[in-house]
Amino acid sequence: MKPQPAIITSQQGPDDFWMMLQSGDRTGLEGLYKLYSHELFRFGLSMVADEDFVQDCIQEVFIDLWKYHKTLQQANNVKVYLFKSLSRKISKASSKEKKWRKEEIRENNTPGYFIESIESNIINHQKDEDLERKIAKALQHLPARQKEVILYLFFEDFSYEEVSKMMGINLRSVYTLAWKAISNLKKSVISIFVMVVCFF
């Protein structure tokens, strides 16, 4: 059965459910499942077109959560943690079963080509602590959606296609938001400007 959109009437949020899960309260696990199973299902289908396979992988993610709940650390972003867990689970399981199918999506005349080049440069320099501090400070001044895109792409290592599914927007919009965010960061962080100016 396909997971249905969650109807949450409690005031408890994902962080509350996560803490309950850590303490061994099964209600926390159930709360997270109700909150995210529908989004996880759609996200899984964006990677492999097999509903039963995706549902099995989601079930395994939550089984693992309960199995290892005693050793779970505090998650900075519960949603990101679950999406990354499902992505790894699907990738590993589907490669064994020869079902993994991932298409490289590119659109002509979009800023995507430039952004991907910039992304590789940013990732290569992330170990520079001074640059990281500057980026973190500059991120606080970005509009919420631009900040969300940058965090998913450059810090959580989601692909553009995955971010599109997570945020419920098309691929072109992800590129546009990332383009605008990098342009704003360039104005605030000289180091980033030096690093990417050749791509503009």
Q: Which residue has the higher pLDDT, 64 or 143?
A: 64
What is the structure's pLDDT at 193? 45
Average pLDDT along the chain: 75
pLDDT score of 150 = 84
Q: How confident is the model at residue 3 (pLDDT cuts 50, 70, 90)?
A: low
Domains of the chain by range and CATH?
A: 14-96 (1.10.1740), 112-199 (1.10.10.10)
> Is 114 within 8 Å of 200 (Cβ atoms)?
yes
Amino acid 66: pLDDT? 94
Q: CA–CA distance from 167 to each of 6, 150, 193 (Å)?
A: 17, 12, 27
Tell me the range of 30-39, 78-87, 102-111, 131-140 where mean pLDDT is highest. Answer: 30-39
For residue 17, the model assigns a pLDDT of: 93
pLDDT value at 108 more than 50 = no
